[in-house]
Amino acid sequence: MGARKKNTVILLITFLIFTFLSGCSLFFKDTAEPVPSSRVIEIKELKTKQITVSWEQAADDKTPEEKIIYSLFYSTKSDMQVLEDVLSSTVAVKGTSGDLSETAGGKMTATITGLVPVNAYSINVTAEDTAGNRAVYLQITIPSREYNDTFSGGSYEIFKHGTVNESVESEVACNIDIGSSVKDLYFIFSNKDHYSDSNKPSIQPEGSVSEERILSGSPLYGISASLTEEQPAAYRGRPDVTEFNNSPIIKKTAVQKSLSGYYQNPVTAVSDSVNDTKIFYDLDSSNNPVYIPATCRLVFKDSGGTEKTLNIWVADDSWETGGTKANLITQIMLDTIAGSFLKTGAANDIYDWVTTIFGAEWGAHTYADLIQPDNNITILLYDIGNDNSTSGGVMGFFWAKDNYIKTSGTNPILDYSNERIMFYIDSMLFAEADPGDTNNDGSDWDPDDYWPKETISALAHEFQHMIHFYQHGIVYGADTETWINELCSLATEDIVSDKLGVAGPRGVDPADGSAGSPGLSGRLNRYNYKNYLNVTNWLSGNDVLYSYSLAYSFGAFLIRNFGGAVFLKNTVQNSENYGWDMISYALKAAGDQSGSMDDRLADWASAVLLSDYTGLPENYRLNTGTWFSSVTGGITYNLGSINLYNYSFADTTGPVVFNSANYGSISSLEANSGTIYNAGKSLAGKNKFLITIPKNTGFTVIVRESR
């Protein structure tokens, strides 16, 4: 082979080798991006001018983990979801795992600084391998951390900012321009977490904020005030009874018919006659039986109307003839309680008014363990607790144990079912006359005396519990919670108070639709004193009176803003198992767009703070100066106005408000609560605050005239 031909062959072979190697290189080129185990970016810390975020590391088939480069981008534009948009944004941090901080679990952490609080930002991360392939994470958006509110004039203004951040504590700048007006400034913080207390917000004024309000007698967290400052305490219900009613023996499901092993008595319909005698069963707190010999003293059938029969029994030791108790029941007392609960005619008694709202107290069902309906309702009057007390105690209760067929030696509660739809009412308090009655024969007793009127109101309260058990528990097959059940009963007392002619929990003359005048009693005195407590947390002992007061206040706000009687009906007639879901169901049915109890906590506190005004917008009204009216089933229901500044407790008048002087008396924001903070008094011009707000906390600013 000649030299020329040999060189040509060498060149050809070289070309072929080069071409082959180039093709292999192209064929095996790295084009796969790194793969993060999760593309979610989490916020770790959010301040006005900086944010710290974290993200999962990515893995790559060719690039070692420690050589993957992470870049953190941010922008004021809203779209940073695709790589092109991300790369056109500002890069804040870039580096490998060795350059960036790592958190537990191998997450990367980095901080963006120099942010402008008024701006909203979009943030994203890329992971880049050594071949230049980039993976894009999931964009997050950070809202503005600056609130700029300008008072537009008038007596007050509400600036509702909603939840600051659901996932992390946030630092925000709050700028309020009050202008030339001289006003007081308030912040309302609502903890929307259903289960957990949170850190309380920190409030730091920037510049001068004049004359911070100092309250006399600053309340301390968790104290119990003396009961002697009010009428003696009268409790609706007993803790053991309430617990049973909320979580009965039967776990009601659509397919369950009976409890295996339970003895089934052949139950017949109740058929009482005056002068019949029998022994009724109660139980003490240890489930020991209490035997109550009693005699039927009144039977009334609403023929041609509801067809219901009311049977009133009186313990033999409490009857006017032969009784031994300090107070004795007379015939006129029986006529009073019977006429209040059930009488001939339409829409003229507790039975009509309450069942029109909530539905029937008992009816058809598919459970072999429950008694069948027979149109009878029983009231048993006796000395509850056998305490012979004429100045307080348990006024009455409904106990769902009596809705069950009596068992025989198989259940410590159901063994003592009375197999009736019935109430227990305290005879001692119902028969107690106002001061001046020196006899125990009722000769000075009057239906308008304090305790008789309280008892009639309590009867409406307990009737809601009776209906609640059937409608929510049996018809809709749902569980319930104490606070929502009590809220509905307190609201029932409220909504029928004018019809019954009793002051009810509002404590105002039942014929007066206005908010009354200073010095009122009722449920709201204690609410004012502890308005920052968790409304869903049912307390024990004497502190339960605070729970009643909070539940009533929240219920009063809801029914005055979202449909009155219809709202109550929808709160009970649904299949939700938790009180906040029951409230949300009723809110949605009332047309509330958010349909969330959480969103209403701040509005409730705002309505309380501004309850001395009569012109508040919808959803903030407690006081219109007259009646709130609603109609259902052809019946009009009236609710009177409420001004919280007409109620006092201990050394506090009006709702408790915190400030820099007494803020240290609470350690946290309780779950399901709203806390009012007075940020300044007699302010004008521009006022600036730096506020650290816990996650899932609502924030509202209120400017109002000084009180």
The verdict on residue 47 lying in a domain is yes
Whether the pLDDT of residue 555 is over 80: the answer is yes
pLDDT tens for 680-691 read: 999 999 999 999
pLDDT tens for 368-381 read: 899 999 999 999 99
Both 343 and 303 in one domain: the answer is yes
Per-residue confidence band for 221, with pLDDT thresholds at 50, 70 and 90: very low
State residue 255's pLDDT score: 38
Both 521 and 443 in one domain: the answer is no
Both 531 and 564 in one domain: the answer is yes
Q: DSSP character for 77?
A: S
The verdict on residue 18 lying in a domain is no
The three-state secondary structure class of 289 is: strand
Look at 253 and 485; give whichever has higher pLDDT: 485
pLDDT tens for 389-422 read: 988 889 999 999 999 999 998 889 999 999 999 9
40-45, long-range: CB < 8 A, 24+ apart = 40/137, 40/138, 41/123, 41/124, 41/125, 41/137, 41/138, 41/139, 41/140, 42/107, 42/167, 43/140, 43/142, 43/165, 43/167, 43/168, 44/103, 44/109, 44/168, 45/111, 45/168, 45/169
The three-state secondary structure class of 552 is: helix
Q: Percent of the chain beyond pLDDT 90? A: 77
Both 443 and 501 in one domain: the answer is no
State residue 3's pLDDT score: 59
Distance CA 63, CA 278 (A): 88
Mean pLDDT of the chain: 89
Both 306 and 431 in one domain: the answer is yes
State residue 439's pLDDT score: 61
Last residue of a domain, one of 99, 127, 142: 142
Tokens 């993200």 locate to 55
Look at 172 and 99; give whichever has higher pLDDT: 172
- Other CB atoms within a 10 A radius of the CB of residue 508 amount to 24
Whether the pLDDT of residue 701 is over 80: the answer is yes
The verdict on residue 259 lying in a domain is no
φ, ψ of residue 241 in degrees (nearest 5): -70, -45
Last residue of a domain, one of 142, 171, 192: 142
Both 84 and 206 in one domain: the answer is no
Both 628 and 593 in one domain: the answer is yes
pLDDT tens for 156-206 read: 999 999 999 889 999 999 999 999 999 999 999 999 999 999 999 999 998
Kindly state the average pLDDT of the residues 232-250.
77
pLDDT tens for 563-617 read: 999 999 999 999 999 999 999 999 999 999 888 899 999 999 999 999 999 999 9
The verdict on residue 663 lying in a domain is yes
The three-state secondary structure class of 22 is: helix
Both 683 and 609 in one domain: the answer is no
Query: In this structure, what CATH number is given to the domain that contains residue 190?
Result: 2.60.120
Query: In this structure, what CATH number is given to the domain that contains residue 125?
Result: 2.60.40.10
State residue 233's pLDDT score: 63
The verdict on residue 182 lying in a domain is yes
Whether the pLDDT of residue 10 is over 80: the answer is no
Both 318 and 463 in one domain: the answer is yes
Per-residue confidence band for 703, with pLDDT thresholds at 50, 70 and 90: very high
Both 413 and 515 in one domain: the answer is no
State residue 422's pLDDT score: 98
Last residue of a domain, one of 90, 120, 142: 142
Following DSSP, what letter does each residue of 205-261 receive, concatenated? Answer: EES--------TTPPPTT----GGGSSPPEEES-HHHHHHHHS-SS---SS----TT
Per-residue confidence band for 478, with pLDDT thresholds at 50, 70 and 90: very high
State residue 440's pLDDT score: 60
Kindly state the average pLDDT of the residues 430-451.
82
The verdict on residue 382 lying in a domain is yes
State which residues form the domain around 86.
35-142
pLDDT tens for 499-548 read: 999 999 999 999 999 999 999 999 999 999 999 999 999 998 889 999 99
Both 321 and 445 in one domain: the answer is yes
Both 209 and 114 in one domain: the answer is no
Distance CA 124, CA 118 (A): 20
pLDDT tens for 66-75 read: 999 999 999 9
Whether the pLDDT of residue 268 is over 60: the answer is yes
Predicted structure pTM score: 0.89
Q: Per the structure, how many domains does the chain have? A: 4
The verdict on residue 159 lying in a domain is yes
The verdict on residue 3 lying in a domain is no
Residues 6+ apart with CB under 8 A from 483: 535, 536, 537, 538, 547, 551, 579
Cα dihedral 642→645→649→651 (10° resolution): 180
